Amino acid sequence: MTYSIKNVTLGEACEIRAGYTARAALKESAGEGVRAIQLRDLHGEQVDLGSAGRYDLDGKLDRYLIELGDVLFRSRGENNTASLVVGGAGEATVALLPVMIIRPKVAGLLPEYVVWSINQHEAQRYLDLGARGTNLRMIPRECLETLPLHIPSLDVQRMIAELDALSATETRLLHELAEAKRKFTRFALLQQVRSAQLHCNEAEHNGAHGPSKTVGKSQRTNS
């Protein structure tokens, strides 16, 4: 396995394009319009094009089209990370600003590795330094283009991507396990409370009827 590393910038290794700029407020349409991915659709390190909504968009949209394997970047907000495009709806889908499209243009560069690199602490710190705005934080395209990118061999990229995916799966499964344990514990505690309440009710019921029987028996004896 080769461990040589090529040091470039993200702009040198990838084509970076801004998403489509809507001229008016977006209105989602059912069954019609163009499929589009916007900022709120990006969750985690993967985005499925099948989840894209439809909107009425005008103008030429070719340069904003998303392809399977593209990297989508959140250029606005506090979370400036990247997601890999997976799945698909079998039809044209575009990216909407502030989402940016990143597409590897050099041979031997995996989009999964690009996502991993952008989301690392070192890269995030670099983007923090280049961020603009206070109330509305934004990462300029120039900052993204000059982001340092260290490209190892293809084998190493695959290994990193696979290990990162396994780590993400492990984290998700551990979270699901913790949630399942929490639900079980809550259910068990609820059963304990119900059982204790039942015993308490039975004790109160027995206590309420016990003395009256004794008094009745004493009165019959005296008579």
CATH number assigned to the domain comprising residue 143: 3.90.220.20
Answer yes or no: do 161 and 144 share one domain.
no
Residue 161 has pLDDT above 70, yes or no: yes
Domain finish residue from 99, 125, 151: 151
Answer yes or no: do 129 and 69 share one domain.
yes
Residue 1 lies in a domain: no
Answer yes or no: do 123 and 173 share one domain.
no
Contact 86/48 with Cβ under 8 angstroms? yes
Answer yes or no: do 64 and 161 share one domain.
no
Segment 51-68, tens digit of pLDDT: 788 888 888 899 999 999
Q: Which helix (H) or strand (E) holds 54?
A: strand 53-55
Segment 20-54, tens digit of pLDDT: 998 777 777 767 788 899 998 898 889 988 878 88
The backbone torsions φ and ψ at residue 18, rounded to the nearest 5 degrees and listed phi first, read: -80, 155
For residue 139, the model assigns a pLDDT of: 96
Please tell me the distance from the alpha carbon of residue 196 to that of residue 109, in angstroms, as a whole number. Answer: 63
Q: Which helix (H) or strand (E) holds 202?
A: helix 154-222
Segment 133-148, tens digit of pLDDT: 888 899 999 999 999 9
Please tell me the distance from the alpha carbon of residue 95 to that of residue 37, in angstroms, as a whole number. Answer: 5
Please tell me the distance from the alpha carbon of residue 178 to that of residue 187, in angstroms, as a whole number. Answer: 14
Question: How many domains is the chain partitioned into structurally?
Answer: 2
Answer yes or no: do 32 and 101 share one domain.
yes
Q: Domain containing 44: what range? A: 6-151
Answer yes or no: do 128 and 157 share one domain.
no
Answer yes or no: do 17 and 81 share one domain.
yes
Residue 2 has pLDDT above 50, yes or no: no
